[in-house]
């Protein structure tokens, strides 16, 4: 499972010209699900994202997590993040999870996020929709986090 996180001052998701979710200071995560992923892997990545230290402390060092900063999380399913881009000039999607599995694991990631942060601090994209994602990347700060294999 892959999560592209971006520290944001604000971010939103729009579907059919309607804003369906928005956050202020926090993290936007684009979530890519692969065939080998499981609920345990989704929970492990979620805990990693929420505890990843990307917010500045009093000295300006990235030493505070989303929990420490009291920020929000916007989770957006991103099928193309699971693409195999190692060769050629066209992405391959053979490792991407099928839609049913991907949606189940997206919802599992959301459930763990809401449990750790509180439901009011978690926004979501719409699985399978044509979404428009707007954000103001703070820094810019962007990291690709990956979790694979058996959970710890």
Q: Active-site positions?
A: 78-80
- Report residue 117 as tokens: 């942060």
Which residues on adjacent β-strands are paired with residue 10?
136
Q: What are the helix (H) ranges across the chain?
A: 39-51, 66-69, 99-117
97 Cβ contact partners less than 8 Å away, ≥ 6 residues apart: 33, 34, 35, 37, 82, 105
d(CA 34, CA 42): 11
């Amino acid at each position: 499972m892959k999560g592209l996180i971006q520290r944001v001052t604000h971010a939103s998701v729009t579907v059919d010209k309607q804003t369906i979710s928005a956050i202020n200071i926090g993290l936007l995560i684009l979530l890519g699900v692969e065939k080998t992923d499981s609920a345990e892997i989704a929970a492990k990545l979620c805990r990693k994202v929420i505890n990843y230290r990307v917010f500045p402390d009093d000295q300006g060092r990235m030493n505070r997590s989303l929990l420490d900063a009291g920020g929000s999380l916007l989770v957006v399913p991103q099928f193309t993040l699971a693409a195999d881009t190692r060769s050629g000039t066209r992405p391959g999607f053979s490792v991407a999870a099928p839609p049913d599995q991907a949606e189940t694991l997206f919802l599992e990631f959301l459930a763990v996020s809401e449990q750790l942060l509180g439901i009011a601090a978690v926004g979501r994209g719409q699985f399978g929709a044509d979404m428009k994602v707007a954000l103001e990347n703070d820094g810019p700060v962007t990291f690709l986090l990956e979790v694979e294999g058996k959970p710890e």
